[in-house]
């Protein structure tokens, strides 16, 4: 590793003690940047790497709220505004009990380069809370979102910081937060949030965009080998926003998804998952995946407590799309997938594969798309939502989907050509990291020491 990267990594670890996910995200990035620093000594001379690793601003705040029985709870809210050289901070909010500053920093760091890779004018940020929405009533969710926004609103703005959803934050939560923002500021500033409802400033295809993009990217990778998703058996982890629409697009592109999961267990449906049923259960009825088999009339199996990747033996999948959460796919499961005919992996979630799992895929020459590239369709479509808000326009479904496809193909192309240019053909991790980093670093140099 280049000496500047070694020194900066030591410093990141020292200055951010215990933040192991943030360290992991930085290490994965640095592992691919040595040649960039050799070619551009000015990046080291002007401390670009050191500056990129330090968020421009980190906000931590108290979120008090009352549950339906009158009990008061106190959660912690976060927003890490990481880098704004390419545009306003942009990145989702996550509501999950596991959220810490570490989680938000790793996600915000990744977001800088992902957003740069889209070629659109968006900086990088991320936020969230350790609030657990599971089992909470609508009224409780609303009170929490209103309290969260009562502090966060002062840091947001369509030219400053534009959040969206992530784990535990969908259209309902965005509605409550946008409503509170509008009420406090007395401004209908549609471009301050993305992922809004279609009737109040949202964009068509935003809901589907991340999952659709993952499947489109996978198909593009397969095409480089003269292949496609047609006839491929696929395992998806998770059954949330990203997973559901990855499943939908895989089916549209001719593949068949045979397994998915939630945090309690996994479903195996050997002839292909019933997507309509899943969407109804998860988005409308807000049910758990354990109810799927009963509703499917015994055609599928539910495995309580099983990580979906452990189904690799029975599923015989050629494609794996991890779409749940970070570090969910480990070395042992990667080996099982490879032993059972895997040819491609595309990360719908952020950093879902552990470094050991990635090594297994690379050694086995599996096509591997990192989240930065494969799941960038969501934030790209958020940027399209901001464009529509700014121009007071609303594009058709077909028009928006066409643009999403073009953006995903563009990101794929950028990864392929950058990897070739750096002597690592087929290395999508290097391609995505370097293409994203170079764009951010050039803009930072142009703007002086800020």
Active site residues: 126
Binding residue for ligand NDP, selected from 55, 77, 128, 238, defined by CB under 6 A? 238
Residue closer to ligand NDP (CB basis): 81 or 262: 262
Please work out, in degrees rounded to the nearest 5, the angle formed at the alpha carbon of residue 334 by the alpha carbons of 299 and 209: 65
> Contact 322/347 with Cβ under 8 angstroms?
yes
> Contact 268/307 with Cβ under 8 angstroms?
no
- Does residue 262 interact with ligand NDP by CB under 6 A? yes
- Does residue 194 interact with ligand NDP by CB under 6 A? no
User: 225: exposed, middle or buried (C-beta count within 10 Å: 0-12, 13-18, 19+)?
Assistant: exposed
What is the total count of residues that contact ligand NDP (CB under 6 A)? 23
Taking the C-alpha atoms of residue 239 and residue 282, their distance in angstroms, rounded to an integer, is: 8
Task: Considering only residues 339 through 378, tell me which ones interact with ligand NDP, judged by CB under 6 A.
Answer: 348-350, 375, 378
Shortest Å distance, C-beta 184 to ligand NDP: 25
- Does residue 323 interact with ligand NDP by CB under 6 A? yes
- Does residue 128 interact with ligand NDP by CB under 6 A? no
In whole angstroms, what separates CA 249 from the centre of its chain? 17
Binding residue for ligand NDP, selected from 48, 53, 86, 242, defined by CB under 6 A? 242
Q: Beta strand 57-66 with 319-322: parallel, antiparallel or unpaired?
A: unpaired
Residue closer to ligand NDP (CB basis): 21 or 262: 262
Region of 10-18, 235-243, 296-304, 333-341 interacting with ligand NDP (CB under 6 A):
235-243
Binding residue for ligand NDP, selected from 55, 123, 240, 431, defined by CB under 6 A? 240
In whole angstroms, what separates CA 12 from the centre of its chain? 23
Residue closer to ligand NDP (CB basis): 304 or 449: 304
Taking the C-alpha atoms of residue 93 and residue 422, their distance in angstroms, rounded to an integer, is: 34
- Does residue 124 interact with ligand NDP by CB under 6 A? no
Binding residue for ligand NDP, selected from 8, 239, 389, 433, defined by CB under 6 A? 239
Shortest Å distance, C-beta 349 to ligand NDP: 3
Task: Considering only residues 152 through 181, tell me which ones interact with ligand NDP, judged by CB under 6 A.
Answer: 165-168
- Does residue 264 interact with ligand NDP by CB under 6 A? yes
- Does residue 236 interact with ligand NDP by CB under 6 A? no
> Contact 274/268 with Cβ under 8 angstroms?
no
Q: Provide the binding-site residues for ligand NDP, judged by CB under 6 A.
A: 165-168, 210, 238-243, 262-264, 323-325, 328, 348-350, 375, 378
């Amino acid at each position: 590793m280049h000496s500047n990267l070694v020194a900066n990594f030591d410093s990141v670890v020292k200055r951010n003690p215990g933040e192991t996910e943030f360290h992991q995200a930085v290490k994965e990035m640095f592992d691919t940047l040595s040649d960039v620093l050799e070619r551009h000594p000015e990046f080291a001379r002007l401390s670009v790497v050191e500056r990129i690793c330090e968020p421009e601003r980190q906000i931590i705040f108290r979120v008090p709220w009352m549950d339906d029985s009158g009990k008061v709870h106190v959660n912690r809210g976060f927003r890490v505004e990481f880098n704004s050289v390419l545009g306003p901070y942009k990145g989702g909010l996550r509501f999950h009990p596991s959220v810490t500053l570490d989680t938000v920093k790793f996600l915000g760091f990744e977001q800088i380069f992902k957003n740069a890779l889209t070629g659109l004018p968006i900086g990088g940020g991320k936020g969230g809370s350790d609030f657990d929405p599971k089992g909470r009533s609508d009224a409780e969710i609303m009170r929490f979102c209103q309290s969260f926004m009562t502090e966060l609103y002062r840091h947001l703005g369509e030219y400053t910081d534009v959040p969206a959803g992530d784990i535990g934050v969908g259209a309902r939560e965005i509605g409550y937060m946008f409503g509170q923002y509008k009420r406090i500021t007395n401004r209908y500033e549609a471009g301050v949030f993305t992922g809004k409802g279609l009737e109040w400033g949202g964009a068509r295809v935003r809901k589907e965009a991340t999952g659709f993009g993952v499947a489109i990217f996978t198909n593009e990778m397969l095409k480089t080998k003269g292949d496609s998703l047609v006839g491929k058996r696929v395992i998806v982890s998770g059954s949330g926003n990203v997973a559901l629409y990855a499943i939908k697009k895989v089916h549209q592109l001719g593949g068949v998804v045979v397994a998915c999961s939630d945090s309690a267990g996994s479903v195996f449906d050997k002839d292909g998952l019933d997507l309509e049923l899943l969407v109804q259960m998860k988005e409308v009825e807000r049910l758990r995946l354990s109810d799927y088999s009963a509703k499917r009339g015994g055609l599928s199996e539910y495995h309580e407590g099983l990580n979906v990747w452990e189904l690799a033996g029975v599923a015989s999948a050629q494609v794996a799309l991890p779409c749940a959460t970070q570090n969910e796919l480990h070395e042992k499961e990667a080996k099982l997938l490879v032993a059972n005919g895997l040819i491609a992996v595309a990360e719908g979630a952020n950093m879902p594969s552990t470094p050991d799992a990635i090594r297994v895929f690379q050694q086995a020459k599996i096509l591997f798309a990192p989240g930065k590239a494969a799941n960038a369709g969501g934030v790209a479509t958020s940027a399209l939502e901001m464009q529509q808000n700014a121009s007071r326009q609303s594009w058709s479904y077909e028009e928006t989907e066409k643009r999403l496809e073009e953006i995903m193909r563009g990101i794929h192309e950028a990864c392929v050509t950058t990897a070739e240019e750096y002597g690592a053909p087929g290395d999508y991790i290097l391609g995505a990291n370097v293409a994203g980093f170079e764009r951010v670093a050039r803009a930072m140099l142009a703007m002086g020491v800020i």
